[in-house]
Amino acid sequence: MNNGSAYVSMRDITKIFGTVRATDGMNLDVAKGEIHALLGENGAGKSTLMNMLSGIYIPDSGHIFIDGKEVKFSSPRDAINAGVGMIHQHFKLVDILTALENILLGQRKGLLLNKKEHETKIKKIMDKFHLEVDLKKYVYEMSVGEKQTLEILKTLYRGAKILILDEPTAVLTPQETVMLFRIMRRMKEQDCSVIFISHKMNEVMEIADRITVLRKGHTIKTLPKEATNPQELTELMVGRPIDLSIKRVPKVTDKRVLKVRNLRAVNEEGVEVLKGIEFDICAGEILGVAGIAGSGQKELCEALAGLYPVKEGEILFKGENLVGKTPKEFITRGISMSFIPEDRLGMGLVASMDMVDNILLKQYHHNKGLLVKRKPAAAKAQEIIKKLDIQTPGINHPIKNLSGGNIQKVLLGRELDSHPELLITAYPVRGLDINTCLKIYDILNEEKQKGVAILYIAEDLDSLMGLCDRIMVISNGEVTGIVDARKVTKEQLGAMMLGKKEDEYAV
Amino acid sequence: MKRLFTVVLVVLLSLALIAGCGQQAPAPEGPKDEPITVGFVYIGPPGDGGWTYAHDQGRKYLEQQLGDKVKTIYKENVPEDQESEKVMRDMIDQGAKIIFATSFGYMDHVANVAKEFPDVAFMHCSGYLLGENYGNYFGRIEEPRYLSGIVAGMKTKTNKIGYVAAYDIPEVVRGINAFTLGVRSVNPDAVVEVRWTNTWYDPAKEKEAAIALLDAGADVIAQHQDTAGPQVAAEERGAFSVGYNSDMAAMAPKAYMTAPVWNWGPYYVKQVQAVMDGTWKPEAYWGGMKDGIVDLAPLTANAPEGSQAAVDEAKAKILSGELQVFAGPIKDQSGTVRVPEGSVLSDQEQLEMKWFVEGVIGKIGQ
Amino acid sequence: MQFRVVRKPDVTQKQYTVIMLIAISLALLTSGIFILLLGLNPISVYISMVNGAFGSPYRIEQTIILAIPLVIISLGIAVAFKMKFWNIGAEGQVIMGAFCASYLALNYSYVPRPLLLLAMAVAGFLGGALWGLIPAFLKARWDTNETIVTLMLNYIALKWITYLQYGPWKDPNSLGFPKIANFTENAILPKFLGVHLGWVIAVILVVVMYIFMNHSKKGFEIAVLGESYNTARYAGVNIFRTILFAMLLSGGICGLAGMIQASGVAKTLNVDIAGGVGFTAIITAWLGGLKPPWIVLVSVLFAAMVQGGSFIQSAFGISAASASLIQAMILFFVLGSDFFTKYRVVINFERPALKKEA
């Protein structure tokens, strides 16, 4: 089948990692001037497929055609030469350089850079696509949205006519998302093709022209947006009917478990990152935390868990001040608090170790004597696998080889196993597919019903509004409002995330 | 884990393969009519152009003279520590029946290994230990050193001669004294300044020491080292030099005048023959010029006028026994008479010499 | 035409075997050409190398003697490397261990043998441990670069022994030759089954370290810290103390190896007491995957290569430099093959696609 109108055509693409078929004979056709969404759960093969189109991976078999001509890429440079550029979730920018310098970086055309000439060329592209970038601004001064725009500009400048965006909205505020969509539409008008990887149904429905659903390494179906709906897409993605709504269970008690008063902390550079945070959480309540990335969420969590130095203030857990206590004291003194950090493999778990050792991480302090006891940990591992339905070849398999969702379940399973009274979760569903997200929401609700107080930090406003009882918005280290999740609107949250104190929403 | 297992398996298989081939190769140890194996332990490489070179010439002479009856093995750059014992044991493992250990520092180790292997004959060069199956051998290099001192003493204009020396052990001290006596026999005003390097074989360090001496006003350099480093220094500075061990003319054509040299070959042949004949007995051998084990290399055009005649005259006296290097009267550095007129230092006294004669600038045991 | 290095996904067992086989064949082939240039038959030289390492009980003993320090020091290095603390100061730790043990051996030779040897072992351990604690403290407190600090401490240790050997500790009975006095019988490790007791210590250490690294709390904490600093903090590991403890152990084991070398092999102290084995052990520790049982195997093979290399020198009259070159070539190919298990080289003969006009 050769689609005559296809600008990009991938045929029978197979890529094998070890024994796993990441993509198994996948096909994809993208037309000129089209926004094409790739929808799929984690592990469906979206990123792998796109990494092959952008030259990062080399397909084991299959063909890629661009504008009717077959191409073989062995590096991203080959791909960009053929007009394919990819914007990754982690930006490839140099912080200490300006926007302009970042764009010109690695352009090896002649010995001397003719900045003026390049600048005019860049300005032309900015006009054409309505991109707003201050070329003289340093990257470290930029917001996430600005960085993303810069990445897009950089890629377009290098000659990309086919732009791949890997979950671009995951790091953006609602306002920034609107901006991004505007840029994408403009690119479409300029006859560029945009491939948009996402698992956020509402965004896909808003922006895409056509949608290709992937599942477990296979192309399931390509549909025009008009001809489908979220329910159908979700069922195609998951492979079975599914209920999409997030359940909210009623708040259980009014017993305050945690009181935080005037919490202040400074980072290594001496900049104040937490500026007098105050809030309470009740047993059986989910308090959401919303904010633009880097507003102090990470520092707040770590400070609560005893991992970040607190300069001033009190963290009162059932009346006891935790400030100054170490994580080991939490664990050994039975302070029943659990922290699910955002960086699962960088903080919560050890990637190269197996499940047993990762469970041991929170148990070994209780082992008597000099040796660790792996047997109880192994039993726990089996139990958690069963309880949370974790897909793994076995408890002795390094967890880095598990999918993101399963890794998160391991972490969650371990923490819930200690029956905490307070659970701090930072971005527990980040990067996970709908199915797993729902599973994790269920788990959190279950805990809530048991009377656990939950601090839920997330970036996805839908889940915050659907799951939480109250939402605390922080901006630049300050609380800009604590609002009732049932009454607040996205726009109000967005405004508070940008620093607008909206006391009238508070309950 | 699996991966490592593969590495090991592969390596083992390769080893097994090679070892398998090895089955067909003849075993190194052979029956009676096989040649006798002689092991040489060298402190430096045979290409040092000095001490080890001289011994290696002796080894080659041995092979040349005894032909099929002897097989020689050697190991170079053997440090003067526990490693030397391992080298000797390895050689015995490879069939060596005679071992020549050719540096002073091997002495204790020779004694250690010799006690373990009573059937093997050990000969240690330049030491003094003697046992059931180990002896020592050396030559009276003092005699040609004395002659080279005559050449140096006649050459110097500044009346200061530099002497680059290895360690302050009796062997080296004796050489410095003999050289100085030779110098002062023709030039009573000249002094000999000593620099210790604490190495036998370190070209750079030895060259540096020579440069320091030249900077201090010396115009002739002599040496007790295994390399030609000091010769090169003299050449570069336009000074003159006396070598050691072997003819060093090639390294310093404009500076080199002569050198006390070794000729080990005949001695090695004699010893190995004695072992083969079953007549070998450990001894403390100390041959002189008349035995041919030491000599003075031919004088070059750099040598001063009249020095050839002076050397010839003294050499004739040494050969006839009329001249003995350490015959009194000899004063030490403080001016005290250590060897009165009419007496000669005994061999034992020479072997334990720990003092400098008058005219030497330098200290022992610093 | 252009060359490009491309990352490979995980290689399979079969591919790995093939790569290793090619590496070893290439090593033998390349050194073979070199041996031919020396005018010798490569096959007989290789046979002779194996024969020299394992050909007789004596040779096996010698190979074991060479392997003992490699095994012990590799174990010490493995502890630090497990924590991703790049301790390349094993050489210095060995030397300082030997120094402390020698101090007792030279000054308390009248103490009964078992007691003296035990005291020497403790002193050796402490000497190496203290030398290892310096970079550990600097790292834990001020986050200094341990690679540079440990490397530089090697030279300080080496020059310290040189100073002693040529100065205050020079044997007065050596007629001025710069050597330290030989140990008396009391301070020398006895032999057991033909080889000095060091091998028994090595075997015990292998078992102990296996248990330590796989089953002890401290070993677990060291491994967690090595994998992720933040996870270690999260799990309540005391980072400061763990770094210090790991280096105390790492340096101590190396120091113990120093004591064994001084007491069992050299029977004295000298500047060559470590003789580079502290660096060689880095290779064996790494090739052994930091796992005690594999370290033993790799160390023995490595020792065999050195012993075989020494054998061919005297057997064929090959110079020391040439023998080292052959060993280095084998090592180069085996270590270098690791690269090809992770990457492959792609050669493009034409540009994949032409850039269109913008």
Chain A residues with CB under 8 Å of C228 CB are 345-347, 350-351
pLDDT at C117: 95
Distance of CA C56 to the CA centre of its chain: 25
Q: What domains appear along chain C, each with residue ranges and CATH number? A: 1-40+321-350 (no CATH), 58-317 (1.10.3470)
pTM score over 0.95: no
pLDDT > 70: percent of chain B: 91
pLDDT per residue as tens digits for the range C36-76: 988 889 899 999 989 999 988 889 999 999 999 999 999 99
Bond before B329 cis per omega within 30 degrees: yes
User: What is the pLDDT of chain B when averaged over all its residues?
Assistant: 87
Chain A residues with CB under 8 Å of C346 CB are 58, 74
Q: Which of A55-59, A136-140, C170-174, C250-254 is most confident?
A: C250-254
A54 neighbors A251 (Cβ within 8 angstroms)? no
Q: What phi and psi, each to the nearest 5 degrees, are found at residue A172?
A: -105, 155
A195 neighbors A164 (Cβ within 8 angstroms)? yes
Q: For residue C306, is pLDDT > 60?
A: yes
A293 neighbors A144 (Cβ within 8 angstroms)? yes
Q: Which DSSP string corresponds to C186-216?
A: GGSPPEETTEETHHHHHHHHHHHHHHHHHHB
Report the alpha-carbon distance of residue A325 to residue A348 in Å, rounded.
Answer: 19
Chain C residues with CB under 8 Å of A58 CB are 6, 346
Report the alpha-carbon distance of residue B228 to residue B207 in Å, rounded.
Answer: 8
What is the bridge-based pairing of β-strands B294-296 and B260-262? antiparallel
Residue of C nearest to B6 (CA): C17
Report the alpha-carbon distance of residue A31 to residue A194 in Å, rounded.
Answer: 9
**Rounded mean pLDDT, A352-358:** 88
B282 neighbors B130 (Cβ within 8 angstroms)? yes
> Domain residue spans in chain B?
36-139+264-291, 142-259+297-361
Report the alpha-carbon distance of residue C21 to residue B6 in Å, rounded.
Answer: 10
Contact B79 C320 (CB under 8 A): no
Task: Judge if B36-139+264-291 and B142-259+297-361 fold alike in CATH terms.
Answer: yes
Handedness of CA A88, A89, A94, A98 (dihedral sign): positive
ipTM of this complex prediction, to 2 decimal places = 0.80
**Rounded mean pLDDT, B107-121:** 92
Q: For residue A305, is pLDDT > 90?
A: no
**Rounded mean pLDDT, B230-257:** 90
Please give the C-alpha separations between residue A87 and each of A84, A166, A194, A429, in angstroms, as whole numbers: 10, 6, 11, 22
Range of weakest confidence among A24-28, A463-467, C165-169, C351-355: C351-355
The CB-based long-range contact list for C213-217 (8 Å cut-off, 24+ gap) reads C213/C78, C213/C79, C213/C82, C213/C290, C213/C291, C213/C292, C215/A371, C215/A372, C215/A374, C216/A370, C216/A371, C216/A372, C217/A364, C217/A367, C217/A370, C217/A371, C217/A372
Regarding the domain delimited by B36-139+264-291, which CATH topology (the fold level of the hierarchy) does it fall under? Rossmann fold (3.40.50)
Inspect the structure and tell me whether chains A and C have 3 or more CB pairs less than 8 Å apart: yes
Chain B residues with CB under 8 Å of C294 CB are 4, 8
Residue of C nearest to B16 (CA): C50
pLDDT > 70: percent of chain A: 92
Q: For residue B183, is pLDDT > 90?
A: yes
Which among C4, C6, C9 is the nearest to A18, CB-wise? C9
Tokens of residue A21, six digits = 């078929």
Tokens of residue C266, six digits = 């050299």
The alpha-carbon gap from A496 to the nearest alpha carbon of chain C, in Å, equals 31
pLDDT per residue as tens digits for the range B270-321: 999 999 999 999 988 988 998 889 999 999 999 999 999 999 999 999 999 8
Please give the C-alpha separations between residue C192 and each of C197, C198, C199, C200, in angstroms, as whole numbers: 6, 9, 9, 8
Q: For residue A219, is pLDDT > 70?
A: yes
Report the alpha-carbon distance of residue B101 to residue B110 in Å, rounded.
Answer: 7
CATH class of B142-259+297-361: alpha beta
Q: At what angle do helices C90-107 and C113-142 cross, to 10 degrees?
A: 150
pLDDT at B198: 87
**Rounded mean pLDDT, C170-197:** 85
Contact partners for chain A, using 3 or more CB pairs closer than 8 A, are: C
Which of the four pLDDT bands, split at 50, 70 and 90, describes residue C355? very low
Contact C352 A362 (CB under 8 A): no
pLDDT at C130: 96
More confident residue, A145 or C69: C69
- The continuous run of DSSP H or E covering A287 comes out as strand A286-290
Q: For residue C2, is pLDDT > 60?
A: no
Q: Which residues contact A221 (CB under 8 A, 6 or more apart)?
A: A212, A213, A236
Matching residue, tokens 């139990």: A383
Report the alpha-carbon distance of residue C159 to residue C155 in Å, rounded.
Answer: 6
pLDDT at C353: 40
